[in-house]
Structure 1
Amino acid sequence: MKGDYTGKVLRMNLGTSSTGALPTERHEELGGGHGMGFAIFEDLGLKKSADLLQKRDRLG
C-alpha cells in the first residue's frame, strides 16, 4: 500500500514541534521491540544519566 507507515519510526521533538522519520534499515536485523528501542537509543547518542529529571537528559 503506497504511503503507509509500515517499517517507519517517527521522531518528534515536542520542544520545537519538529518531526522526522528515523532510518530503520539496521533495526530490522535486531528482531523485536527491545532491540529496536536500544538501537534507536544508541543511534541518537543518548546517554543514561544518574538524574533523569535534569533538563539535559532526553529521557527525563
Structure 2
Amino acid sequence: MRRSKNRGFGIALGVAIGTSVGVAVNQVAVSIAIGIVVGLIFGSILDKRSQQQEK
C-alpha cells in the first residue's frame, strides 16, 4: 500500500512539474512522459526513505 502511494504521489508531482514546463515549450506530451519518469524515480526514492525510517 505504502509503495504505490509514494509512487503515485511522485508521478502526480512529476506530471504537474512536467506539464508546466511543457506548456512553456509547447510540448505537453513530451513533458508528461518526462513527468512520469521523474515521478517513478521520485517515488522509488520515497520508498527507500520510508523503508529506512521503519528500521
TM-score normalized with structure 2 length = 0.27
Identify, as 1 or 2, the structure richer in strand: 1
Q: Which has the larger radius of gyration?
A: 1
Higher relative contact order (CA 8 A, sep 6+): 2
